[in-house]
Amino acid sequence: MRTMNRLDQPFRGATTLQEQFNHMFGNGLSRTGEESNLTPWAPPVDIYETEHELVVKADLPDVSPQDLDIRVENNILTIRGERKFESKAHEDNYLRIERAYGSFSRSFALANSVKSDAIQADYHNGVLTLSLPKREEAKPKQIKVNVGTPAVNQGQAQAAPQQRSLAAAPGAR
């Protein structure tokens, strides 16, 4: 990220207490573990699960869809792209530049339950939405509950009388 300092700012080197807290709690501690190896900027994402799919939503304002590279390799979903700095004004005219520019990359491990060959990507109003459908065996199954009739298969039906007879034997628990 680039900040612009103007020579006519008398306190340009001083930081406020708020900026120090933001740096310490916002930037310094927020990227731990999995996120510590990220590029200088990484778009925020939401990931949620429905009955039939996983959904990944990434905020990518001012990123052209042509500058996105989305792929799955070895059950790792990777979103790469670049937000380019378009200066409509001369660089010296900027008073503040806070948005991050440049390349980014985000990677997420996928469960084996995702059909990676059926992933769909949509980009609308600066939000990338990836729909990752689940495999049939990973979708929840409804199990019918029998009332009044035993739900046994052939193997259990033959074993059941033996179990009853053992339970009825003297001294059996």
What are the DSSP calls for the chain, one per residue? ------TT-TTTT---HHHHHIIIIIIITTS-GGGGG--S----EEEEE-SSEEEEEEE-TT--GGG-EEEEETTEEEEEEEE----SS-GGG-S---S--EEEEEEEEPPTTB-GGG-EEEEETTEEEEEEEBPGGGS----PPPSSS----HHHHHHHHHHHHHHHSTT--
Determine the pLDDT at residue 104: 94
Determine the pLDDT at residue 153: 62
Using one digit for the tens of pLDDT, what is the confidence trace for 117-140? 899 999 999 999 999 999 887 667
Q: Where are the domains of the chain?
A: 41-141
pTM over 0.85: no
Using one digit for the tens of pLDDT, what is the confidence trace for 71-128? 999 889 999 999 988 777 777 788 888 888 899 999 999 888 889 889 999 999 999 9
Fold of 41-141: Immunoglobulin-like (2.60.40)
Determine the pLDDT at residue 15: 57
